[in-house]
Amino acid sequence: MKHYLTLNHLPNLETAVAEAIALKKDPFQFEKIGRNKTLGMLFFNPSLRTRLSTQKAAQQLGIKTMIMNFSNEAWALEYEDGTQMSGLRSEHIREAAAVISQYCDVVAIRAFASLTDKQKDEQEIVLNSFIKFATIPVINMESATSHPLQALADAITLKEYQQKSRPKIVLTWAPHPKALPHAVGNSFARMMGHQDADFVIANPKGYDLDPRITNGVTVVHNQAEALKGADVVYAKNWSSYDSYGQILRTDNKWMLTPEKMEQTNNAAFMHCLPIRRNVVVSDGVLDSTHSKVIEQANNRTFAAAAVLKTLLS
Ligand code: CP
């Protein structure tokens, strides 16, 4: 594996999950692997879990980290070639990526979707520019269209929780006051393509994810129907993909409640966090014993460790 930009870059998802679970049991077993290695972590957007879990994973592997917030610490980057840089952007990606490659052995990048220009977002300009001009492996810490570290942690959580063969797993859209990207939903759907499960996506009309990603997946527009008999319910908001970046509804009819969870097969509840209480899901679901969100966040460390170890091996 040269880079980790999407889940498809893993040589084998099942092996990566097994490796992460082994690392979770004995996190310091490979602490010599990262000796004299440095991971650069570049954030163009905020983070709690991704930043801390990836840093912790690096520590467990003996890797040193350097962190930079590009939103307020670094020079604003120019990505266009051949442009006259007389505006606000002070540094070209060509130099920035090449220089970071002198200081680091691996670089991890978080750069969200703008949600204003679908075509530009799908070009993944930040991530792909680093791929082009850096000389070291690149890890995606959530880009415009995917969040593969989250999806690997989700696969670990599903594996640890699995109670029967071919469970019913529902990814349900949930309300949110802000327009959110599609990255988590996309990567979860991609990850489910590797699972032996009855996978259903439930979202209101107008909120279908990119059909190139959900091709072959059952998509329904009736949440109650989808939740019936579910073994795992994963809630997540995303803005409209068709009416790109738009919020099409502001009611709370799709908020997940204990009454709705009663229609499931005692389903486990998952969410990538951060989560808005009593907007996305009510306290009763989040505080119930069915909620796996803290373990899911814990698994972010071992997902990152498995990826870092593979890249350094
Ligand atoms: N789930 C996740 O990526 O969390 P952060 O945005 O806090 O990193």
Give the model confidence (pLDDT) of 191-231 as tens digits: 999 999 999 999 999 999 999 999 999 999 999 999 999 99
- For the Cβ of 50 lying below 6 angstroms from any atom of ligand 1, the answer is yes
Could you identify the atom of ligand 1 that is nearest to the CA of residue 141? 3
Q: Is the pLDDT of residue 156 over 90?
A: yes
- For the Cβ of 129 lying below 6 angstroms from any atom of ligand 1, the answer is no
- For the Cβ of 123 lying below 6 angstroms from any atom of ligand 1, the answer is no
Cα gap 228→261, rounded to integer Å:
9
Which tokens hold the place of 123?
Answer: 């070009």
Mean pLDDT within 289-303: 98
Mean pLDDT within 265-281: 98
- For the Cβ of 150 lying below 6 angstroms from any atom of ligand 1, the answer is yes
Report the pLDDT value the prediction gives residue 109, as an integer from 0 to 100: 98
- For the Cβ of 264 lying below 6 angstroms from any atom of ligand 1, the answer is no
Q: Is the pLDDT of residue 71 over 90?
A: no
Report the pLDDT value the prediction gives residue 196, as an integer from 0 to 100: 97
Report the pLDDT value the prediction gives residue 15, as an integer from 0 to 100: 97
- For the Cβ of 273 lying below 6 angstroms from any atom of ligand 1, the answer is yes
Give the mutation target among 55, 156, 272 for probing the ligand 1 site: most ligand atoms within 8 A of CB: 272
- For the Cβ of 110 lying below 6 angstroms from any atom of ligand 1, the answer is no
Report the pLDDT value the prediction gives residue 256, as an integer from 0 to 100: 98
If you measure from the C-alpha of residue 178 to the centroid of ligand 1, how many angstroms do you get, rounded to a whole number? 16
Report the pLDDT value the prediction gives residue 307, as an integer from 0 to 100: 98
Does the model's pTM come out above 0.85?
A: yes
Report the pLDDT value the prediction gives residue 159, as an integer from 0 to 100: 98
Using alpha carbons, select from 146, 80, 87, 79 the residue that is nearest to residue 113. Answer: 146
pLDDT in tens, 219-269: 999 999 999 999 999 999 999 999 999 999 999 999 999 999 999 999 999
DSSP 151: H
Q: Which residue has the least CA distance to atom 4 on ligand 1?
A: 49
Cα gap 240→246, rounded to integer Å:
5
What is the chain's mean pLDDT, rounded? 97
Report the pLDDT value the prediction gives residue 254, as an integer from 0 to 100: 98
The helix or strand, by DSSP H or E, that contains position 234, with its residue range, turns out to be: strand 232-236
Give residue 51's pLDDT band: very low, low, confident or very high (50, 70, 90): very high
Mean pLDDT within 14-30: 98
- C-alpha distances in Å from residue 96, one per residue of 45, 79, 138: 18, 10, 14
Tell me the DSSP string of 243-260.
TTT------STT-B-HHH
* Cβ–Cβ < 8 Å for 268, 232: yes
Cα gap 198→158, rounded to integer Å:
13
